[in-house]
Amino acid sequence: MKKMMTVFAALALVASLTQAALAGDTLAEVKKKGVLVVGVKDSLPPFGYIDEKSREIVGYDIDFVKTIAQKLGVKLELKPVTSASRMPQLMEGNIDMIAATMTKNPERAKQIDFSYTYFLTGQKFITNKGKVKSLKDLEGKKIGTAKGSTSEQNVKKAIPTATVLSFDDYPQAFLALQQGKVAAVTTDESILAGILGKAPNKNKFEIPTLQISEEPYGLGMRKDDKNLVAFVNKTLLEMEKSGEAKKIFDRWFGPKTSTPLKRTFKITADK
Ligand code: GLU
**Could you tell me the residue range of the domain that residue 99 belongs to?**
24-118+219-253
Nearest to 131 by CA among 184, 189, 54, 66: 184
In a shared domain, residues 47 and 86? yes
Do 225 and 189 belong to one domain? no
Measured by CA distance, the residue closest to atom 10 of ligand 1 is 149
248 and 186 in a single domain? The answer is no
Verify whether ligand 1 is closer than 6 Å to residue 150 (CB atom). yes
Q: Is residue 7 part of a domain?
A: no
Q: Is the domain of 154 the same as that of 107?
A: no
Question: Which tens digits make up the pLDDT trace of 218-254?
Answer: 999 999 999 999 999 999 999 999 999 999 999 999 9
Question: Is the pLDDT higher at 137 or at 270?
Answer: 137
Q: How far is the CA of 178 from the centre of ligand 1 (A)?
A: 21
Q: For residue range 12-65, what is the model confidence (pLDDT) as tens digits?
A: 555 544 444 455 899 999 999 999 999 999 999 999 999 999 999 999 999 999
Mean pLDDT across the chain: 93
Specify the pLDDT at position 254: 96
Q: What's the CATH number where 194 sits?
A: 3.40.190.10
141 CA from centroid of ligand 1 (Å): 22
| 87-110 per-position pLDDT tens digit | 999 999 999 999 999 999 999 999
Q: Which atom of ligand 1 lies at the shortest distance from residue 151's CA?
A: 5
CB of 215 sitting under 6 A from ligand 1: yes
Cα of 213 from ligand 1 centre, angstroms: 12
Query: Is residue 151 lining ligand 1, measured as CB closer than 6 Å?
Result: yes
Judgement on whether residues 97 and 152 belong to the same structural domain of the protein: no
Give the per-residue pLDDT at 5: 55
The CA distance from 225 to 105, in Å, is 18
Is residue 147 within 8 Å of residue 168, measured between CB atoms?
yes
pLDDT in tens, 104-128: 999 999 999 999 999 999 999 999 9
Q: Take atom 8 of ligand 1 and give the residue whose Cα is closest.
A: 149
Question: What is the number of domains present in the chain?
Answer: 2
Q: Does residue 114 share a domain with residue 226?
A: yes
Given a cut of 80, is residue 11 above it in pLDDT?
no
Residues 128 and 210 grouped into a single domain: yes
Residue from 83, 114, 126, 219 to probe ligand 1 pocket by mutation (most atoms less than 8 Å from CB)? 83
Q: Is 115 in the pocket of ligand 1 (CB under 6 A)?
A: no
Q: Is 8 part of a structural domain of the chain?
A: no
In short, whether 189's Cβ falls inside 6 Å of ligand 1 is no
User: What's the pLDDT score for residue 23?
Assistant: 59
- Say if 52 falls within a structural domain: yes
In this predicted model, which residue has the larger pLDDT, 5 or 53? 53
pLDDT of residue 149 exceeding 70, the answer is yes
% of the chain residues with pLDDT over 70? 92
* Separation in Å, CA 23 to CA 32, 86, 91: 17, 18, 10
pLDDT of residue 6: 58
Q: Phi first, then psi: what are they for 137, rounded to 5°?
A: -65, -10
The pTM (predicted TM-score) of the whole model is: 0.91
Distance 40 CA to ligand 1 centre (A): 12
User: Strand pairing partners for 124?
Assistant: 187
